[in-house]
A and B are shown apart, each in its own frame.
Chain A
Amino acid sequence: MSHTITDETIDYAAILAKLELSDAEREQAKQDMGRMLDYIDRLNELDTSGVEPMSHVFPVRNVFREDEVTNGDGSADTLKNAPEEKDSMFVVPRTFD
């Protein structure tokens, strides 16, 4: 099966990925994703019924620890890389009108 990626599909993926694509980028992305999905479709040749999805190779469980503070006040450090900050807070663009 060959995938044809529509404008709607690529625009939806771009919204999820928070990306703004130029017209040229969008055409390229449609082609690239189509080719990748054609390739990924090979997985359908395998019968995976009855196989549990494996998210982790070891039988890991949640790792619990006591809720104890081990670090000091890191707020000054945390803000060192802020693109914009004011009064120990991150400044962000307007979020509502």
Chain B
Amino acid sequence: MELLALSAVELGTAIKEGKTTAVEAMQAVLDKIEQTEELYHCYVTVDRDGALGRAKEVQKKIEAGELTGPLAGVPVAVKDNLCTEGILTTCASRILENFVPTFSAEAVLNLERAGAVLIGKTNMDEFAMGSTTETSAYGVTRNPRNPKHVPGGSSGGSAAAVAAGECFFALGSDTGGSIRQPASFCGVVGMKPTYGTVSRYGLVAYGSSLDQIGPLCRTVEDCAVILETISSHDKKDSTSVARSDTDFTSALVKDVTGMRIGIPRDYFGEGLNPEVKAAVLKAAALLEKNGAVVEEFDLSLVDYAVPAYYTIASAEASSNLERFDGIKYGFRAKAEGLHQMYKKTRSQGFGPEVKRRILLGSFVLSSGYYDAYYLKALRVKAMIKKAFDDAFADYDCILCPAAPTTAPELGKSLLDPVKMYLGDIYTISVNLAGLPAVCVPCGEDGRGLPIGLQLIGDCFQEKKLIQAAYTYEQLSVSGS
């Protein structure tokens, strides 16, 4: 049996049936990492010995009948901004180069309770600020589909690890597209749930009103199973929502008959690569042929999402990152006096993109500019949310690209930040409006680089997305 070719659910089933073990699966992943990690660099930390030890313990519990879920024994990679007890958690920043959390994020605990086995921590843009994984303080990650290209970001290490077979599935976080865009670039499935569905406890905060944790994986079935496992109401996250409809696997139904799908005309204009456009519209046509009602509509306000987002996200980042001051954890620079120490620690500990955003965030929150910039952006956010509310009065889901292009070459993005930010145009408004969205592969460009199809749903309507994405995936596999 070629273990690495299996999906997470297929592997879990094989382990349950005794065809393989959690230890064999982990060994296969570690062997693969040994072969390809030097090239791809998906991980900041691979916890080899710990991973095998945990796999042995889980295997015993599976054999004793204590762990029976679909993810029991399945190796998982976790983005390095999710705290993991006893395992280095750097956020790909120098300022957390020595931070070993004494607790684990709730989403990680939920996976461990289900028997998934942690491999290590994946590379990312520093503090999740970036769209290419090139702002990591620990080196770039390469796209396994073509190592001359970026994997996307900020959850680039997680997406690349899934694409490279260096894990069976991974967790990422999505503040402005950081799960869906790397999923698109690496040709894997990625989902950002409705805000509040997955506890943010133990996720190092970037933009707290926008951050959500979600899965990166090979199939829509895996996506539903993982999301069902990590969703929970958590008193330790005050924005956690108590939901009783998290049985997401019930939506794995191949049927889109009568489903109303809207295509926002304003997402298909200038700046969209023609090959991406063609692949996404082809996917829409396939769903229509199989019974969906597909219509074009005007979403409006599209050009205002990126500037509103960067105002709000930078403001929240400047506040959230105040805690990195060299006192309680992380790197501390040597300096005379408290304030000198703060400044030197932060100046030496943060990279250029983080500094750029916290400077902007400090400015837009400062006295005299708060109303003009920050409150203005929050008003625009309300208008964007209203535009989506209007759209979902007519449609079950919105279909569009995840990104305007396929993965750019390494080294081409960071020189022009505003241009890089514009690459987030199709993902960012989803975070502003708190909506769920999924990205599934829908073809490749002439160079063999993957293209991603994004489906956006109304708040709490993940099941519609899963059903549409599952149907598309099954139809495209069978070529009908």
Interface residues in chain A, defined as those with a beta carbon under 8 Å from any beta carbon in chain B: 9-10, 12-14, 16-21, 25, 28-29, 32-33, 35-37, 39-46, 48, 51-58, 60, 62-63, 65, 74, 77-78, 80-84, 90, 92-95
> Closest Cβ of chain B: how far from A71's Cβ, in Å?
10
Chain B residues packing against A (C-beta within 8 Å): 98-100, 102-103, 195-196, 209, 235, 238-239, 241, 301, 303-304, 306-308, 310-311, 318, 322, 325-332, 335-344, 346-347, 350, 352, 355-356, 358-366, 373, 375-383, 385, 417-418, 433-434, 459
Cβ–Cβ < 8 Å partners of A12 in chain B: 366
- C-alpha spacing A16/B310, complex, angstroms: 18
Task: Tell me, rounded to whole Å, the shortest Cβ–Cβ distance linking A95 to chain B.
Answer: 5
Of the candidates B335, B352, B358, B379, the one whose C-beta lies within 8 Å of that of A93 is B335
Contact residues in A for B343 (Cβ distance below 8 Å): 18-20
Which among A77, A80, A90 is the interface contact of B327 at CB below 8 angstroms? A90
Knowing that A13-B363, A82-B327 touch, tell me 12 more A-B residue pairs with CB under 8 angstroms: A10-B359, A13-B362, A16-B366, A32-B417, A39-B310, A42-B304, A48-B383, A58-B434, A60-B239, A83-B327, A83-B330, A94-B337
Across-interface contacts of A10 in B (CB, < 8 A): 359
Total of A-B residue pairs, C-beta within 8 Å: 166
Q: Chain A nearest CB: distance from B476 CB in Å?
A: 32
CB <8 Å contact, B380 and A90 = no
State in angstroms the CA–CA spacing of A13 and B362 once bound together: 6
When the two chains form the complex, which single residue of B301, B362, B377 contacts A17, counting CB atoms closer than 8 Å? B362
Q: Give the most central of B103, B235, B358, B363: most A CB within 10 Å.
A: B363
Q: Report yes or no: A17 in contact with B383, Cβ–Cβ below 8 A.
A: no
Is the pair A33, B336 in contact by a Cβ cutoff of 8 Å?
no
Q: Which B residues lie within 8 Å of A48 (CB)?
A: 376, 379-380, 383
In the bound complex, residues from chain A placing their C-beta under 8 Å from that of B383 are: 46, 48, 51
Contact call A43/B307, Cβ cutoff below 8 A: yes
Cα(A92)–Cα(B327), bound, Å: 7
Instruction: Enumerate 5 A-B pairs (CB-CB under 8 Å) in ascending A order.
Output: A20-B344, A29-B359, A36-B310, A62-B238, A63-B235
Task: Known contacts A94-B338, A95-B338; decide if A43 and B380 are in contact (CB<8 Å).
Answer: yes
Min CB–CB distance A4 → chain B (angstroms):
14
Check B358–A36 contact: CB distance below 8 A.
no
B420 to chain A minimum Cβ distance, whole angstroms, is 12
Interface centre among A36, A56, A78, A92 (most CB of B within 10 A): A36
